[in-house]
Amino acid sequence: MRHAQLRAFHNVAIHGGFSRAAEAINLTQPALSDQVRKLEAEYDVRLFDRSRKQIEITEAGTRLLEITRRLFEVEDLARDMLSESRSLRSGALRIVSDTPYHIVDLLAAFRARYPGVQVSVRSGNSAEVAAALNSYEADIGVLGEIPSGTEYDVIGLSQAPLTAFVSRGSPLAAERGISLRRLSHSPLVLRETGSRTRAKLEDAFSAARLKPRSWIEAEGREAVREIVAAGGGVGVVSEAEFGTDTRLAKLPIEDADIRMDEALVCLRERRDSRMIRAFMGLAAG
Spatial distance between the Cα atoms of 234 and 227, rounded to a whole number of angstroms: 9
* Rg (the chain; Cα; Å): 23
Task: Write the pLDDT tens digit of every residue in 180-197.
Answer: 999 999 999 999 888 888
Confidence of residue 266 (pLDDT cuts 50, 70, 90): very high
Spatial distance between the Cα atoms of 144 and 158, rounded to a whole number of angstroms: 9
Cβ contacts of residue 262 below 8 Å, gap of 6+? 99, 102, 142, 143, 144, 156, 157, 158, 159, 160, 238, 240
What is the full DSSP assignment across 216-264?
EEESSHHHHHHHHHTT--EEEEEGGG-TT-TTEEEEEBTT---EEEEEE
Mean pLDDT for 252-264 is: 90
Spatial distance between the Cα atoms of 121 and 97, rounded to a whole number of angstroms: 7
Strands 118-123 and 92-97, sheet pairing: parallel
Let me know how many helices (H) and strands (E) the chain has, helices first. 10, 11
Mean pLDDT for 33-48 is: 90
Cβ contacts of residue 115 below 8 Å, gap of 6+? none
Domains, the chain: 3-82 (1.10.10.10), 92-157+262-284 (3.40.190.10), 161-258 (3.40.190.10)
If 0-12 CB within 10 Å is exposed, 13-18 middle and 19+ buried, where does residue 183 land?
Answer: buried
Mean pLDDT for 26-33 is: 87
Beta carbons of 187 and 215 less than 8 angstroms apart: yes
Query: Is residue 85 predicted with pLDDT exceeding 50?
Result: no
Mean pLDDT for 216-238 is: 93
Q: Which one, of 279, 284, 283, 275, lies nearest residue 88 by Cα?
A: 275
Please report, for residues 95, 175, 190, the alpha-carbon distance to residue 172 in angstroms, rounded to integers and kept in the order given: 37, 5, 18
Q: Which one, of 170, 180, 172, 251, lies nearest residue 209 by Cα?
A: 180
Task: Write the pLDDT tens digit of every residue in 106-129.
Answer: 999 999 988 988 999 998 888 888
Mean pLDDT for 157-186 is: 94
Task: Write the pLDDT tens digit of every residue in 54-84.
Answer: 889 999 999 999 999 888 888 877 776 666 5
Please report, for residues 85, 128, 129, 213, the alpha-carbon distance to residue 90 in angstroms, rounded to integers and kept in the order given: 14, 27, 24, 52
Taken as a whole, the chain contains a residue count of: 285
| Helices (H), ranges, 83-159 | 104-113, 126-134
